[in-house]
Structures are given as C-alpha cells and as structure tokens.
C-alpha cells in the first residue's frame, strides 16, 4: 500500500508541473546584445517563441501546484537580445 501511495504522490507532483524550469538568477545574467546561443546556454530552451514582424519574444514559463508560477521573457531581433526585463532581487 505504501508503494502505491508513493507512486500516486509522485505522479501528482509530476503532473503538477508545466513549462520550462528556470531560475530568476539565471534570467538576470541575460544582457542586451547576447546571441540566441548564449541565452539558451544560460536559460535552456524557451517554453515558447512568439514572432511579431522581425522581432521575437522568447518566453520561459513554469507552473507548479506547490510553488506557484513564474515567467520571464526576452525580446530578440536579428538573433540577439534587444530588451530584457527588470527583475527585482526579491524574486
């Protein structure tokens, strides 16, 4: 019975997560002018990429039933970061 309950708890924890895991300390390392490859090296692959004209918005989003949700995005153009968000140190 314990193994069954442990398996159910594990399945619930896994299904309770969605998106691409990241840390805000990683996001603070991304700077204007960095290449796509440099961003992926720091952040991992984005959860989604939205194109608008010749610009793209790279989005990392992660939701967890227990820890809540978080998201960050960077504006890209010509393969480089052109805009980063201000991320408070309290995050």
* d(C-alpha 35, C-alpha 79), whole Å: 6
Residue 89 in domain: no
User: The CATH number of the domain where 67 resides is what?
Assistant: 3.30.1450.10
Can you list the positions of beta strands (E) in the chain? 17-19, 48-52, 55-64, 68-77, 80-83
Q: 7 lies in a domain?
A: no
The pTM of this model reads 0.74
Whether residue 41 is contained in a domain is answered as yes
pLDDT at 14: 41
Q: Is the pLDDT of residue 54 over 90?
A: yes
| pLDDT for position 17 | 54
Q: How far is CA 62 from CA 15, 55, 66, 76, in A?
A: 13, 23, 12, 20
pLDDT at 63: 77
pLDDT in tens, 16-29: 456 678 889 999 99
For the chain, what is the domain count?
1
Closest to 52 (Cα-Cα) out of 32, 18, 82, 21: 82
With bands split at pLDDT 50, 70 and 90, how would you rate the model's confidence at 9?
very low
Provide the domain limits for residue 67.
Answer: 18-83
The mean per-residue pLDDT over the stretch 76-90 comes to 94
């Amino acid at each position: 019975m314990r193994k069954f309950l442990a398996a159910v708890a594990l399945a619930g924890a896994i299904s309770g997560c969605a998106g691409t895991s990241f840390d805000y300390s990683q996001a603070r390392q991304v700077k204007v002018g960095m290449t796509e490859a440099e961003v992926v090296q720091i952040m991992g692959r984005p959860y989604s990429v939205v194109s608008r004209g010749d610009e793209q918005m790279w989005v990392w989003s992660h939701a967890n039933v227990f820890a809540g949700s978080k998201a960050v995005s960077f504006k890209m153009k010509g393969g480089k970061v052109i805009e980063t968000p201000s991320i408070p140190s309290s995050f």
